[in-house]
Chains A and B, each alone.
Chain A
Amino acid sequence: MCATCGCTVDEHDHEHPHDDGRTVTLQQKILAKNDDLAQRNREWLRERGVLAINLMSSPGSGKTTLLERTSEDLAGKLALSVIEGDQETDLDADRIRSAGCEVVQINTGAGCHLDAAMVARALRTLDPPAGSAVVIENVGNLVCPALFDLGETARVVLASVTEGTDKPLKYPQMFRSADLVVITKTDLGPYVNFDPARFGEYVGQVSPRAITISLSAVTGSGMASWSGWLAGMVPAPAH
């Protein structure tokens, strides 16, 4: 493709329309730059044989608690490292590190989401070994992170029972992009008005291909299906 005018001919001798008032057709995705960087991340991860999960939810759904528990449960079984995205502070990174995980913190400042360039830098710092899993804990937000491909292998969206049954309908963009939906804090189920069956129906309406599982990182109930899904996603070692 001609880089200047965007036409599909590789070699050509036409004038580029830089004269006044001319319209130049671009037909280009606005997020093409992020998408390109994300694709580079994806290739880098594939060459290394590393799984990358983009973990997204509202603030307070239990992303960090799930990762703490996962790190303990999978110690010695699966090498896990974490990229932590928050607007400010290293608090979550400290928690994950205490749980025995390699972690890189990204502070986005005013930013409401991670992008592929931030993740590229964090991956180089993290230097994950082959056969390991990197969980990218996105900024707590059910809107913006859905738009930005990070180069992840799969997208996981968390929703806690305290957030209400209708979350998938209220934030369809986010749930539509999910490969796995995890209902968290099921130990609080008896105290809140959450209907898991209806939640599952709503997920099915916006994302028929997503798998839904339920767990409590506090009691450990359901953790085996999450760990099993995660371990099953890790690429087999190349020979």
Chain B
Amino acid sequence: MHELAIAEGLVDAVTERLPGTKISEVRLEIGALSGVVADSLRFCFDLATEGTELEGASLQITEPGIQVECRTCGGTFVPDGAGGSGARGVPILLCPCGSADVKVLSGQQLTITSVKVA
């Protein structure tokens, strides 16, 4: 359950950037390869924001799909089963050329994209 630590990190990051500012909405990008489960984070968000400027804020999470670049053939591809939004199963990152030596272009996001000031 590292999602609680992630939620606490989120509160720290926002309150350090916008000290003393009441926040009504937080928008995040959580990639399927980030190791963070969006539903668990939603659960922890309310706990972590209690008593902070983020208390009561709504949490909007987008889950960008996986895209990788093959270091062997140079092609980019979307792995089988990497459906993007809501995808739970993390696919094996194997290029159609047979190489597993890939660089992840998208899917590892663990980013606060924006917040709305109340």
Contact = CB atoms under 8 A, between A and B. Distances in A.
A205 B118 CA distance: 47
Contacts of A75: none
Contacts of B118: 20-21
Interface in A178-214: 204-206, 208-209
A30 B10 contact: yes
Nearest to B12: A33
Contact of A28 (B17, B90, B116): B17
Contacts of B6: 30-31, 147
A205 B91 CA distance: 11
Contacts of B12: 33
Contacts of A146: 35
Given A33-B9, A112-B2, A172-B92, A205 B100 contact: yes
B117 A111 contact: no
A32 B13 CA distance: 7
A30 B117 contact: no
A143 interface: yes
A28 B111 contact: yes
A6 interface: yes
Nearest to A204: B100
A24 B111 contact: no
Contacts of A20: 117-118
Interface string B81-118: 00000000010111000011110000000111111111
A154 B100 CA distance: 21
B47 interface: no
Given A113-B5, A143-B2, A208-B101, A29 B114 contact: no
B21 interface: yes
A124 interface: no
12 contacts: A17-B117, A19-B117, A20-B118, A24-B116, A26-B114, A27-B111, A31-B6, A33-B12, A113-B2, A144-B35, A173-B90, A206-B93
The 4 closest A-B pairs by CB, nearest first: A144-B2, A208-B101, A173-B35, A26-B112
Interface of A: 3-4, 6, 17-34, 111-113, 115, 143-144, 146-148, 169, 172-173, 204-206, 208-209
